Structure 1
Amino acid sequence: MRRLLRVIILSGIVLATLLLVVAGTGIFVVRHSFPDYDGTVALTGLDADVEVVRDGNGIPQIYADQPGDLFAAQGYVHAQDRFFEMDFRRHVTAGRLAELFGKDALETDKFVRTLGWRRVAEKELGLLTPTTRAYLDDYARGVNAYLSTHAGSGLSLEYAVLSLQGPDYRPEPWTAADSLAWLKAMAWDLGGNMNDEITRTKLAAKYPVSNIASLYPDYPYDRNEPIIATAALTKGGTFTTAPVETEARRGMLTQGLLKSLDTVDKVAKGLPQLLGRGDGIGSNAWVVSGDHTTTGKPLLANDPHLGATMPGIWSQVGLHCKNVSTRCPYDVSGFSFSGLPGVVIGHNAAISWGFTNLDPDVMDLYLEKFSGPDAVIYDNKVRALSKREETFKVAGQEEVEKIVVRESRHGPIISDVGDDERETGELAAKRLDTSEAFGVALQWTALTPGRTADALFAINRAQTWKAFRAAAAQFEVPSQNLVYADREGHIGYQAPGQVPIRNAGDGDWPVPGWDSRYHWKGYIPFEAMPTEADPDDGIIVTANQAVVPKTYPYHLTDDWDYGYRSQQILDRIRAAGKLDANSMASIQLDTKNRNAETLVPYLLQVQISDEFDRQGQDTLRNWDFTQPADSAAAAYFNVVWRNLLELTFHDQLPEGTWPDGGSRWFEVMRKIIMQPNSGWWDNLATTQRESRDDILREAMVNARAEITTKMARDPGSWQWGRLHKLTLTNQTLGKSGIGVVDKLFNRGPFELGGGSSLVNATSWDASEGYAVTATPSMRMVVDLSDYDKSRWINLTGVSGHAFSSNYTDQTDLWVRGETLPWAFTRGAVEASREHTLTFTKPDKEN
């Protein structure tokens, strides 16, 4: 939910920053926070010295004798590089942004505090193993050691700018709950179909369900393969790829679907759209066995697609026990989150793993029928709501703000704090001719305390497929597709997470909270979750497509990505012959637009009389459907695509539901393009009835005019990258809208190839423009034959300090599609050593 990061900075920052620069203090303030990567630092609580080796890109490799020392050093290193980002994140997840940014952030705080992310994180601490809890505390000890000797502009340039508008701010000590709370934010971004649920219901206010279904086509299993080709359960309830008859269960799900649709038709129409993540957020991950590689050992690739932020979401790190044993079992390298110990995606000495978003339906909206302010109706009885008061400190004002959070059995009443959600209840009541508005409650798996932190450390330690699956069993939210490979030659796939089993309905629509038939009756058992080891063809591809065919008896979701990326990856692998790390990386850069492959033949059949307009159409002739940054055909096609979506749907759909142009709209257009007289083609603003070819012609003519205005009259000067640009934006001060401040923290624009729902997924929103909204946040290829031959790249750099040499030192490489060598063994790390920082015990502890 993007409003969580919507922060407006007070205009006084502009004057203060200008004065700072004019006064000649700018260079000092900018460089004041740069950390020392060399030398010796005393760190309380160490068992023995710890060494941090960094290469020229500032990527740290940490060596320690004990796990506690390892994670304490990681905390210190993360604080060195990214503390403002960590501090900002914990203010987001605790609903305390207004303490930093004033009243403009209060709406965000109220929503987050109503959801209770931080409260859930604090409850999770008691569920974790003592070992995990100790590691979180060790990490916090390292962070706080850095805070004890750094403050204000010595921590980050952002603090220097913010301090000029008010009293000095000193961060609170870091805690274990601060680390866990960030997992809730990631779960929010990566979990559930709430945005689609709201959009469907909003459309239901205007159209019958059958019309809406045409905008949510079924997954095209005949063209785009699911992750696992066959899926069922044994009599014992264990997932199997062998055929098992499940007809009775399928019938029950169909009946539940009909009940849900019937209820929605009567009760819940008109939900306004919540600002969700859209089609741009996804990921690619795939693994191939040694049968497909030049070395005879597996290769594993991963590139998660996330919002483009400055600094990037990931921080690279190596965590190495000097002598690996049961007492110190970590020898792991990969991508971490600043603020969280361990490695999230990467490899250890025995196995490698990657993630893509499974995106199951783990959120449901419930309409609640109030009985006074403190109770709701449930099964014809009055049930009390639980209540709690939340208090907010606001920068710039003395008095605190307060709200009362109400919760039903389903979850928090989010309509109490959200204008969109409040309107939902009002519209639902209006349709039922009821005088009192309904409340809207959210039930979400991430609001139940869990043990995902245990799972992350267990994955870091795992040495076998069996141990990896045991770790995955603890990975509760967000549900992910896990791909696996090991040095013994095995590959595998596992879907973990808590996915609800519903008594009625399928989670696609809001349901009546007063009817017990719609409660969750449990979660899909881990043993029944999709899994596969060493498939016969030696290939596993996950790109957010359908996980399983319809034979699978449980309902995961109906809102898969439609498989255009995954099928392109599969086709590339099958045609590649023997693969190495470089050829795997080249697949990550694939820009073929399978949507264009479908539409261009129809566009070329349309007669255009004007020679000037035909010049645009002519760029599509003999096009290979790829979208590098310098492609004229890609530039013209994407402008046509945006105009085509606007002409076809904007006149008939509410503005909040206009097409973003991602894979769902590829599939919608694929179906209606074969229906030349579909009602969607008709422009309701005209008296005549338009056909498909009328709209295709108008889209091309409009595109020719638009691209001429934006770029050039001569098609030879058109380039997709000149429209499709990425600006890396700092999540706080970079969104101020104040030129001088934005330039301090933001970088770009960069001209990119690729596009939405392409393998090289540089997404853009067709309802807004051509600017890049989400990207591959990193790319990695792991070579299980020799880890030092693996490759990796980050979107930005490891440093969060503006103007540091490691702030965006990987970005130019990323833009060009290049990667860095990924040193893992001690010899490779030593060969790239440029800095050494040693942590020692304080004198009083020796």
Structure 2
Amino acid sequence: MPPNTTASSGQKPGKSGRKKGRKARLFLIVLVLAIVGGVAFGAYWSISTVRASFPQTKGSLTLDGLSGPVDVQRDGNGIPQIYAASDADLFMAQGYVQAQDRFYEMDVRRHMTSGRLSEMFGKGQVKDDEFLRTLGWDRVAKKEYDTKLSASTKKYLQAYAKGVNAYLKGKDAEDISLEYAALGFTNDYTPKEWTPVDSVAWLKAMAWDLRGNMQEEIDRSLMTSRLGPKQIADLYPEYPYSRNKAIVQEGEYDTVTKSYVQGSSSTASSTGTAGTGLTGNATASGADLQSQLSGLYDVLDDVPTAVGVNGNGIGSNSWVVAGSHTITNKPLLANDPHLSASLPSVWYQMGLHCRGISSKCQYDVSGYTFAGMPGVVIGHNQDIAWGMTNSGVDVTDLYLEKLTGNGYQYDGKVLPFRTREETIKVAGGDSKTIVVRETNNGPLLSDRNDELVKVGKKATVDTAAPDRGDGYGISLRWTALDPGNSMDAVFEMDKASDWSEFRKASASFDVPSQNLIYADTKDNIGYQLPGKIPTRGEGDGSLPSPGWDSKYQWTGYIKQAELPYEYNPKRGYIVTANQAVVDKDKYPYTLTADWGYGARSQRITDLIQSKIDGGGKISTDDMRQMQLDNSSEIAKLLVPKLLKIDVKDKNVREAQKLLEGWDYTQDADSAAAAYFNATWRNILKLAFGNKLPKELRVKGQCLYVDPVDTTGPVDDDDAKVRECGQRDADQAQPDGGDRWFEVVRKIVDDEKNDWWTAPKTRLDKPADTRDELFARALKDARWELTAKLGKDIDTWSWGRLHRLFLKNQTLGTEGPRFIKYMLNRGPWKLSGGEATVNATGWNAAGGYGVVWVPSMRMVVNLGDLDKSKWINLSGASGHAYSAHYTDQTDKWAKGELLPWSFSKKAVDKSTSDTLVLKP
């Protein structure tokens, strides 16, 4: 997904000062878009000008560098299938076609990964660029390209870049995309040639947003300022292994062979803490760490997102069912990655086909990839299919560093920083040079915030830290900052023909670590955890560690043979949905302290098992229907207790009655779902919000953001709405995900638990028990929905609250309404919800709006690949007035899937346009 270059999706807005510099530029953008768009506001230019950047999809074009003709066949949704006679021609054509549809998106992406957003968008992006330069994604990508990637991968990357540049050749910026016409009125930016490193660097951005538990490290540390160990443990409960099954259920770690073996009876001897692992490192806590981590919040919030909500709330579903349980007698494989909603979608659908498989041309693959990257990331070839979900393994650690002069302390010595200068060019302004400092743990993130630097220099000496020095800083150790081979893995998976080749390919998938599921046409299914996963000395990665003590360093990485896998399990299916990978008693290493808690995975498991137990066979449409399951696990737990509350207020009682007989399904037209989710949000606010440290509080956000009636006398309803909104403005807000499901589940039957207390207000008595707090939440939810949806509950619906807006990258995220009107789309009223299989996620800290979604859905039929189905969030095109800009979104919102042609016969039948690329 292209970054939001002003305010990350689901994150707080950037500093107001950063917006001022944009006003003049945005005014000019409005003018030029009014001219170029010219559709809704009178055409100064003709519509043909708007269409000038649309791709040619019929006829023929000459492409220097091809060795033979290439056919590009597009279906009615503009999805391309490419046919070539050599690998080089195939990937060159892929680069050309993706640039036709999405070059502006690709260009923004590479400016983000290289920390050069200021070159396109001006001084408002300097702070972002400073942080991105500190991480140095493009520098690592260049090292990968120069020293790690195979010769064939480099050849494909070069061919892809050649195709992109062939498209750019001879074109003015406004011929490429509408957005460039706007930028041309505010600065002299023109697109540069594409390079192979531009493609490799995107994997680093993707890894950043899927990086694991870094946010949890910060949160837990900040909680120590106000909460004790038991309270923090309450908020990070053990993973419920007995209730929500791990991914891998057959096999154990063999201590003799030091490998994971399916069917082994050996007992793993643990070398790390399982569960939540709250041991961490107490010596690294204290006032200095607290101040550094608190300031780091602001830095992280402003970083543009790539595919996720800046490391928060990301999930995904995938599962595979063996032929013994399907109507086709061959496996069915489903996948729907949950990522930030973006326009265009983060995914690009396409097929890459050799006219004949040979050593010269090795690929016949179709699926989803990223614009700007060759190959297919998720999909199937003629023999196998695969899907991915985020594993969540812990590959990042924060270190508190003790700084002394021009160095940092380590085992009693002062070591010099590794430093480099970075010059940031700014469109319409002066360049800025920064110095990046690195310790042996990684770059100093704290250098990117002026306040953090000041605090670090003034820090008082912690008694647990060395007793000399100038202050403190925070550094980041992260596997993605070391060169790896993930790009090799993409091509190896694309041509793998069986389980052995697939596992071998997965060994190169360094970062981000993904749960990989597998199926093949010979009726085999499997799972593999890949990735470069560290082992640690002291500490378990759940809390920041002292950088000055070598005992807390990483000691190595888990070997490929030791990583959990499963092949043809006896139960006949495998489910991955961000739950624990393996039972803590069957594996010696701590993979993470922060799994997803398994609400989605267990629901999928139950749906599959109930079908099997009933003697039924699973179809492609059954898989689709499972993807759309809207059942709320937390509602099943809480609604029976909420209905027992004796409500006196007739208006609140009227709302409470909505829950009677409700089946816990969060359909878009459900009033009960709207009221329950509002009640759940208020329970979280009352029980936990006012007890969390101020550093975790959401500034300036209120539950009741819609205006109440301000005419005439203030009635009781308005007073309640206003008071609750004011009370919420400076409280912490839990996000409401499945960790909070588990937190509440643990204490829900303890009616006098301390968490069930809430202070009195002008309108409310204090709550001292669970039922008193629940009564308050039912009442507050009633007035919140009155403010948002009106007093008449017959007009309420979940979809009116739970809406999806698709915002075009960069120019559509902020600014005058006219720009948003032209570039953005929506809203769509959606079913589903947080920690639901149909995971249209909302964050209780910010409202009910949809912030992450099933970014695509697919069901692969290994019995007949042409009967597979797929859908994308938006469409194939990144051009705002193309017919394929959002032509799949309505179907996606309804849960429909499109036919997915694969064989040449099926592709020919579905083809609407054919373009021949000639040498």
TM class, shorter-length:
over 0.9
**1:214 has 2:234 as partner:** yes
**1:741 has 2:741 as partner:** no
Alignment RMSD, CA only? 2.1
Distance 1:629 1:431, change over 3 A: farther
Residue in structure 1 matched with residue 885 of structure 2 by the alignment = 807
8 A contact 2:860–2:868 mirrored in 1: yes
8 A contact 2:280–2:544 mirrored in 1: no
Residue in structure 2 matched with residue 445 of structure 1 by the alignment = 479
AA paired with 1:652? Answer: K
Residue in structure 2 matched with residue 763 of structure 1 by the alignment = 841
**1:172 has 2:192 as partner:** yes
Displacement after TM superposition at 1:151 (Å): 2.5
Q: Which one of 19, 22, 26 corresponds to residue 11 of structure 1?
A: 26
**1:323 has 2:356 as partner:** yes
Displacement after TM superposition at 1:257 (Å): 6.2
* Structure 2 Cα separation of the partners of residues 27 and 281 of structure 1: 40
Q: Which one of 45, 58, 61 corresponds to residue 81 of structure 2?
A: 61
**1:454 has 2:488 as partner:** yes
Distance 1:365 1:423, change over 3 A: farther
AA paired with 1:568? Answer: R
Distance 1:556 1:429, change over 3 A: farther
Displacement after TM superposition at 1:697 (Å): 0.4
8 A contact 1:73–1:142 mirrored in 2: yes
Residue in structure 1 matched with residue 421 of structure 2 by the alignment = 389
AA paired with 2:204? Answer: K
* Structure 2 Cα separation of the partners of residues 818 and 280 of structure 1: 25
Distance 1:378 1:832, change over 3 A: same
Residue in structure 2 matched with residue 415 of structure 1 by the alignment = 446
SS at match of 1:744: helix
**1:636 has 2:675 as partner:** yes
Distance 1:543 1:152, change over 3 A: same
Residue in structure 1 matched with residue 691 of structure 2 by the alignment = 652
8 A contact 1:230–1:548 mirrored in 2: no
Distance 1:253 1:717, change over 3 A: closer
SS at match of 1:764: coil
Q: Which one of 792, 795, 805 corresponds to residue 727 of structure 1?
A: 805
Displacement after TM superposition at 1:4 (Å): 6.8
Residue in structure 2 matched with residue 626 of structure 1 by the alignment = 665
* Structure 1 Cα separation of the partners of residues 86 and 271 of structure 2: 52
SS at match of 2:519: strand
Residue in structure 1 matched with residue 654 of structure 2 by the alignment = 615
Displacement after TM superposition at 1:254 (Å): 10
Deviations 1:768-823 (A, max 9, x none): 11100000000000000000100000000010000100000000000111010000
Residue in structure 1 matched with residue 508 of structure 2 by the alignment = 474
Displacement after TM superposition at 1:429 (Å): 4.5
* Structure 2 Cα separation of the partners of residues 778 and 586 of structure 1: 15
AA paired with 2:741? Answer: F
Worse overlay, 654-663 or 729-738: 654-663
Distance 1:507 1:213, change over 3 A: same
AA paired with 1:392? Answer: I
Residue in structure 2 matched with residue 603 of structure 1 by the alignment = 642
Q: How many residues align?
A: 838
Deviations 1:33-90 (A, max 9, x none): 1111112111122111000000110000000000000000000000000000000000
* Structure 1 Cα separation of the partners of residues 520 and 671 of structure 2: 43
* Structure 1 Cα separation of the partners of residues 454 and 640 of structure 2: 44
Residue in structure 1 matched with residue 604 of structure 2 by the alignment = 569
Deviations 1:696-741 (A, max 9, x none): 0011111112212322333232110011000001120011231111
Residue in structure 2 matched with residue 375 of structure 1 by the alignment = 407
* Structure 2 Cα separation of the partners of residues 253 and 547 of structure 1: 12
* Structure 2 Cα separation of the partners of residues 4 and 154 of structure 1: 23
Q: Which one of 153, 160, 173 corresponds to residue 152 of structure 1?
A: 173
Worse overlay, 494-503 or 320-329: 320-329
Give identity over the alignment, percent. 50
Q: Which one of 678, 681, 691 corresponds to residue 756 of structure 2?
A: 681
* Structure 1 Cα separation of the partners of residues 626 and 522 of structure 2: 25
* Structure 1 Cα separation of the partners of residues 457 and 675 of structure 2: 44
SS at match of 1:809: coil
Deviations 1:497-540 (A, max 9, x none): 00100011110111110000011111000110110100001110
* Structure 2 Cα separation of the partners of residues 4 and 417 of structure 1: 19
AA paired with 1:547? Answer: V
Residue in structure 2 matched with residue 341 of structure 1 by the alignment = 374
Distance 1:685 1:406, change over 3 A: farther
Displacement after TM superposition at 1:428 (Å): 7.1
Normalising by the residue count of structure 1, what TM-score does the alignment of the two structures yield? Answer: 0.96
* Structure 2 Cα separation of the partners of residues 829 and 4 of structure 1: 35
Displacement after TM superposition at 1:641 (Å): 1.1
Q: Which one of 108, 123, 126 corresponds to residue 143 of structure 2?
A: 123
AA paired with 2:415? Answer: R
Deviations 1:81-139 (A, max 9, x none): 00000000000000000011111101110000001000000000121111100000000
SS at match of 1:268: helix
Deviations 1:156-192 (A, max 9, x none): 111011112233x321100000000000000001122
Distance 1:70 1:247, change over 3 A: closer
Distance 1:292 1:757, change over 3 A: same
8 A contact 2:118–2:124 mirrored in 1: yes
8 A contact 1:314–1:794 mirrored in 2: yes
SS at match of 1:11: helix
8 A contact 2:510–2:532 mirrored in 1: yes
* Structure 2 Cα separation of the partners of residues 580 and 194 of structure 1: 40
Deviations 1:222-264 (A, max 9, x none): 2111101255321111112445555753578799964624543
Query: Which structure 2 residues correspond to residues 40-79 of structure 1 after superposition, within 5 A?
Result: 40-79=60-99
SS at match of 1:191: coil
Q: Which runs of 5+ in 1 are unaligned?
A: 842-846
Worse overlay, 244-253 or 487-496: 244-253
8 A contact 1:4–1:108 mirrored in 2: no
* Structure 2 Cα separation of the partners of residues 116 and 74 of structure 1: 27
8 A contact 1:424–1:440 mirrored in 2: no
Query: Which structure 2 residues correspond to residues 14-25 of structure 1 after superposition, within 5 A?
Result: 14-18=30-34, 21=38, 24-25=44-45
Distance 1:692 1:420, change over 3 A: farther
Residue in structure 1 matched with residue 577 of structure 2 by the alignment = 543
Worse overlay, 423-432 or 628-637: 423-432
SS at match of 1:782: strand
Query: Which structure 2 residues correspond to residues 206-245 of structure 1 after superposition, within 5 A?
Result: 206-230=226-250, 232-234=252-254, 235-242=256-263, 244=265
Query: Which structure 2 residues correspond to residues 825-844 of structure 1 after superposition, within 5 A?
Result: 825-841=903-919
SS at match of 2:442: coil
* Structure 2 Cα separation of the partners of residues 39 and 186 of structure 1: 36
* Structure 1 Cα separation of the partners of residues 369 and 753 of structure 2: 49
* Structure 1 Cα separation of the partners of residues 347 and 202 of structure 2: 13
8 A contact 1:257–1:505 mirrored in 2: no
**1:282 has 2:282 as partner:** no
Distance 1:100 1:554, change over 3 A: same
Displacement after TM superposition at 1:425 (Å): 4.6
